[in-house]
Amino acid sequence: MQQRTKYIIFAAVTILILTLLFYCAAGSGGSVNWKETYKEGEKAPYGLFILRQMMSDYAGENKVKDIEDTVFDDLPEGTEGDENYIFIGESPFYDTSDVNRLLEFVGNGNKAFIASKSIPTDLIDFLYIEECNYEFWQDYAHFSDTAVAMTFLHSALSDSGNFEIKYKNNLQTKSYQWNYIDRKYFCPENAGAVFVPMGEANFQYVNFMKAHYKRGTFYFHTNPMAFTNLQLLKERPLEYAGLTFSHLHRGNTYWDTYSRTTELFGRRRNFKISGDKQALPDEGPLDYILSQRSLAWAWYLLLGMTLLYLLFRAKRRQRVIPVLEPNTNTSLEFVSTVGYLYYQQKNHRQLALEKMKFFKTYLRDRYGMTSKNLTAERLSKISEVPFEEVKNIFDKFNIIERSDFAYEEHLIKFHLALENFYKKCK
């Protein structure tokens, strides 16, 4: 009886502690999401709802179109001279084909505006030519402060004064890490320099620059925080955003909503980029759960009930489970057996179909390509295998697939084409 009383007292104390935790969680910021999401449709403090509406008004009769798939797929080819590309977020994720399409877009005379805390090296290596004492490009530098004064360096805008941008969290002003571009990458003595400073933070740190590329221009801003909802509710930051985007064309604008993510094996996953490294983002499902009052209560209640269950049910109540031998992987044996059966039955067509299935699985695992976006041209670019050799695979397979019967020589030629691809692909 005395032991039972101890359990009851312990359970009561645990429930009391959990109640205090619930109270603290419920009173720490409510349902306002203070994360830096940079989502164009979000009205939270660090979303981009106001900027997106402002850009729609600025475009006038032209359109603001979302890039919902990769830059390679959604940014049009051959557009000439009066269109824009915009990315605002922690950092963009581009693969090689995305970088090439973006360079082609700007090279045709269009403009790209990228406001992020870092730039992928795959892009900056095309623009920066080590012209200033052969300095190698590194990531942005940074300093810490609760607020910064942003100014323009261009002669037409330099008299517009300074624009104060503050960082707040839970309505409290806090210190923040402001990124900037080291001045060693600018060559004032070189009239043909690629990088040109356009704006500063605190009158000394370059946070806005342009980079010439062929007939177009890239604009880079190191403080995407300046364009979020919380800032644009004030008159001066709103004016700053308007002057910043006045550098763009009046044509169609392509707003990149996809490059905050990358698609791997059919699933979209968020990534941050620091230099040339990829990492999972700071914000995950648990961050969202804890930011919502009702979900936070449910989460802590689940943890409390789990703890109580472990305390009172820790004693083993079943027999020891015998150790089982691990399952052996017989996949290769199975494939070999099935292939041998098809070959013995002279069913060359079916064997070719199975080999094509394995080929598509290989492309999905290695390059993230699905049947939906699989073309000979794109596969050739990604794998670096000559186009004619890749096209040869699809041509031979189409001949076999469209016929009711395949000869052994057709199967052999198709097999050799696949083996050639596996040896040469990067």
Q: Specify the pLDDT at position 57.
A: 79
Grade residue 255 by pLDDT with cuts at 50, 70 and 90.
very high
Q: Tokens 């083996």 correspond to what residue?
A: 419
| Mean pLDDT across 157-181 | 91
Higher pLDDT, 176 or 295: 176
CB-based contact 393:411 (threshold 8 Å): no
> Would you say the pTM of this structure is higher than 0.75?
no
Q: Specify the pLDDT at position 19.
A: 64
Q: Specify the pLDDT at position 322.
A: 73
SS (H, E, C) the chain: CHHHHHHHHHHHHHHHHHHHHHHHHHCCCCCCCCCCCCCCCCCCCCCCHHHHHHHHHHHCCCCEEEECCCHHHHCCCCCCCCCEEEEECCCCCCCHHHHHHHHHHHHCCCEEEEECCCCCHHHHHHHCCCCCCCCCCCCCEEEEECEEEEEECCCCCHHHCCEEEECEECCEECCEEEEEECHHHCCCCCCCCCEEEEEEECCCEEEEEEEEECCEEEEEECCHHHHCHHHHCCHHHHHHHHHHHCCCCCCCEEEECCCCEEEECCEEEECEEECCEEECCCCCHHHHHHHCHHHHHHHHHHHHHHHHHHHHCCCCCCCCCCCCCCCCCCHHHHHHHHHHHHHHCCCHHHHHHHHHHHHHHHHHHHHCCCHHHCCHHHHHHHHCCCHHHHHHHHHHHHHHHHCCCCCHHHHHHHHHHHHHHHHHCC
Q: Specify the pLDDT at position 190.
A: 60
Query: Rounded to whole angstroms, how far apart are CA atoms 186 and 280?
Result: 32
pLDDT of 183 above 70: yes
- What lies within 8 Å, CB to CB, of 286 at 6+ separation is 299
Higher pLDDT, 102 or 329: 102
Sign of CA dihedral 113, 247, 155, 217: positive
Query: Rounded to whole angstroms, how far apart are CA atoms 308 and 380?
Result: 58
Range with the lowest mean pLDDT among 17-31, 199-213, 264-278, 349-363? 264-278
| Mean pLDDT across 181-201 | 81
pLDDT of 175 above 90: yes
Residue of 241, 183, 274 whose CA lies nearest to 51: 241
Q: Specify the pLDDT at position 277.
A: 41
CB-based contact 64:255 (threshold 8 Å): yes
Percent of residues, the chain, with pLDDT higher than 90: 31
Q: What is the pLDDT of residues 360-411, one digit of tens each?
A: 888 888 888 887 778 888 888 888 889 888 888 888 888 878 777 777 787 7
| Residue 26 CA: distances (Å) to CA of 20, 194, 293, 299 | 10, 52, 5, 12
CB-based contact 225:165 (threshold 8 Å): yes
Grade residue 126 by pLDDT with cuts at 50, 70 and 90.
confident
pLDDT of 245 above 60: yes
pLDDT of 250 above 80: yes
Q: Specify the pLDDT at position 14.
A: 67
Q: Specify the pLDDT at position 45.
A: 93
Q: Specify the pLDDT at position 270.
A: 43
pLDDT of 131 above 70: no
Range with the lowest mean pLDDT among 46-60, 123-137, 332-346? 332-346
| Mean pLDDT across 259-279 | 46
User: What's the whole-number average pLDDT of the chain?
Assistant: 79
Range with the lowest mean pLDDT among 66-70, 247-251, 316-320? 316-320
What is the Cα 151 distance to its own chain's centre?
Answer: 29
CB-based contact 116:90 (threshold 8 Å): yes
Higher pLDDT, 108 or 282: 108
Query: Rounded to whole angstroms, how far apart are CA atoms 56 and 412?
Result: 57
Q: What is the pLDDT of residues 132-147, one digit of tens each?
A: 655 677 788 999 999 9
Q: What is the pLDDT of residues 43-65, one digit of tens each?
A: 999 999 999 988 887 766 778 89
**Residue 182 CB: number of other CB atoms within 10 A?**
15
Grade residue 274 by pLDDT with cuts at 50, 70 and 90.
very low
Q: Specify the pLDDT at position 138.
A: 78
pLDDT of 24 above 60: no
Q: What is the pLDDT of residues 291-300, one digit of tens each?
A: 667 777 888 8
